[in-house]
Amino acid sequence: MKEFYVTRLKHGMILSEPVFDLHGLLLLKKGAKLSKKNISMLKSWGVVSVIVDGEFEEDYKQLYCFDKKVKETIDNELKEKFSGVLNNPVMEEIKRAACRLLVKKAVGNEQRE
């Protein structure tokens, strides 16, 4: 099992954990085989990462795995900036957009290292 950024998912990967949106709505069940449509849907719902099953080919080694420290930093930054306003659906959507931007920035930094 590996944690992948949604932006790094590939068609055919299998989920080892169910995926929920921010409100707890089930988006995909455990064991679902990812399609391009599924991956697009996850991105549109603001999902940042998922856990997938299986052994991965060598080129996938660069694509998986959140650095725990980076993930914690993103989570903490978002909690700090959005605490007290998440009862507002507009602010929840802005938080999802901010999360996507922070993840893209983190992925870019990882690729440069």
Cβ neighbors of 62 (< 8 A, separation 6 or more) are: 111
Question: Judging by DSSP bridges, how do beta strands 19-20 and 26-28 pair with one another?
Answer: antiparallel
Residue 38 is predicted with a pLDDT of: 93
Residue 63 is predicted with a pLDDT of: 38
Please tell me the distance from the alpha carbon of residue 33 to that of residue 80, in angstroms, as a whole number. 35
Residue 22 is predicted with a pLDDT of: 79
Global pTM? 0.52
Place of tokens 């930093």: 73
Residue 57 is predicted with a pLDDT of: 44
Those residues of the chain that have pLDDT short of 50 are: 57-64, 111-113
The answer to whether the CB of 50 falls within 8 A of the CB of 6 is: yes
Domain formed by 1-65, architecture: Alpha-Beta Complex (3.90)
